[in-house]
Structure 1
Amino acid sequence: MFIQFAAAAAGAAPAAHAGENPYGLMAALEQGGTIAWAVFLILCAMSVFSFYIMFTKLFEQQKIINQSKRVRSSFWNNPSLKEGAAKLEKNSAYKQIVDDGLIAMDQHNKLTDPVEAHDWLHGSLQRSQNAINSKLGTGLAFLATVGATAPFIGLFGTVIGIYRALIKIGASGQASIDVVAGPVGEALIMTALGLAVAVPAVLAYNWLQRRNKSIAEDLAAFSNDVHGYMVSNGAVKPAVVGRPAPAAKPATATAGAATKA
């Protein structure tokens, strides 16, 4: 009797361990071999670079947005473009537009063939604006590429994992649902990883593109204002709305009059 009980207890211990889930990411990588590890590392690298680009572009965009606020509030209060540009940040996008405009006007005076100052200045300011927009768009192509290719890279890992699982199942001669579901479901982890990498990249790409469009509109408006200012010798410039004067306090004045009375 005791021998039978001991034998039953010894058989129950392996059964408990067998009931645990033997599948997961590490198991899929170990069974998938070199191809599974390569797919996993590629997806990890894509994710790391995607987030790096997203945060660096957000910082760069926010810097230009803050510069735009300072330009609208104080730049046009200066008596000349040179003095206004001197007060801007050294690497400011708006300072670059003003400096390129001043250089273009100086170069126009040195031209031997007659070229309209309006056309020459417009082309120079447009080139400066395009250079800034091109710099802002750097790296966004990588986000678009990750969003388009990461799901297929994950799907490739899934196909290889299912292929290996089916070969192993066929070699063992067992095709029951409990034998098939584990390895096949484990292979689908790669597809989930591909989607997890692609979705943030697509969202970041669309969001950054929208912010770049807004910044480009502000740069175009500022460039147009600089153009009008320069071709009119300072006669045309945007109106600067000053701070409203503090309102009078009639209640206080009335109280003072009542005190004197």
Structure 2
Amino acid sequence: MNIALVFEHGDWVLIGVFLTLFAMSVITWALIFNKSLLSWRLRRGNAAFAQAFWQSHSASQALWLAHESKTPLAEIAQAGLLGQQHYRRRDGSTLQAACSMDEFLVRAIRNAMTKALARQQSGLTFLASVGSTAPFIGLFGTVWGIYNALMDIAAAGSASMDVVAGPLGEALVATAAGLAAAIPAVLAYNAFNRFNRTLSQEMDAFAYDLHAYLTTGSAVNMGASETSAPPATTAMVEER
């Protein structure tokens, strides 16, 4: 069946349904491609940055790496290093009296993590909306098409297969179009949610190790995670 017949013989409601589903599908696939590429880059970038960061021999070198890298782990590292420098420059001021360096670093690192995770959530609301509404939009188009088909049958005074098949077939295509838009959106939403949970765990592990080094100069549990620092990293804490 030629889908162009829907636009040739369908009314503005049915055409609007198909155009809406088509727009949803195009945006969905654009988001899937964009976020898939971004997720792949972030995964590789985080691994490369963590390895280079923990091999840094000074705080200035580590801060430069964090500034150059555009990854969530780099943002956390930059927030922690800058937070430590800021706190120590304000030594003896009201900032020190307000909270300890440990608490100040926790706040700085947590804010960086929150911002990084918030950016990863972009587009997921749209995918969830398409996955939940596209089948009903397609069903509405089908119901509307069947209603028009029945009106045509009543006007023709005949219910033969030649009269019924065309209009009903065009109407049922709307349901298929709705499912075609919804299924990729639901699968992509679940996949990106899983990636975000994995990224959140990776960021938690890195932030834990970073906080330990910035406050004590030694790892709490060496080898517990891939982002754990080598002993030489203590220089990042001691350099001032």
How does the TM-score come out when normalised to structure 1? 0.77
Which of residues 62, 65, 75 is equivalent to 2:40? 62
Matches for 1:18-167 after TM superposition, within 5 Å: 24-88=2-66, 89-109=68-88, 110=90, 111-112=93-94, 113-167=97-151
* Higher alpha-carbon Rg: 1
Of the structure 1 ranges 154-163 and 74-83, higher mean CA displacement relative to structure 2 is found in: 74-83
- 2:177, 2:22 → 1: CA distance? 9
In 1, are the aligned partners of 2:130 and 2:182 still within 8 Å (CA)? Answer: yes
Q: Tell me the C-alpha RMSD between the 2 structures.
A: 1.9
How many residue pairs were aligned? 218
Which of residues 141, 153, 167 is equivalent to 1:183? 167
- 2:144, 2:208 → 1: CA distance? 57
- 1:46, 1:147 → 2: CA distance? 10
How does the TM-score come out when normalised to structure 2? 0.84
Deviation of the 1:84 alpha carbon: 2.1
- 1:197, 1:85 → 2: CA distance? 45
CA offsets 1:4-50 (integer angstroms, 9 cap, x no match)? xxxxxxxxxxxxxxxxxxx5322223222211221111111111111
CA offsets 1:154-176 (integer angstroms, 9 cap, x no match)? 11111111111100100111123
- 2:99, 2:65 → 1: CA distance? 31
In 2, are the aligned partners of 1:81 and 1:98 still within 8 Å (CA)? Answer: no
In 1, are the aligned partners of 2:49 and 2:74 still within 8 Å (CA)? Answer: no
SS of the aligned residue for 1:50 comes to helix
In 1, are the aligned partners of 2:63 and 2:81 still within 8 Å (CA)? Answer: no
In structure 2, relative to structure 1, the CA distance for the partners of 1:81 and 1:66 (3 Å cut) is farther
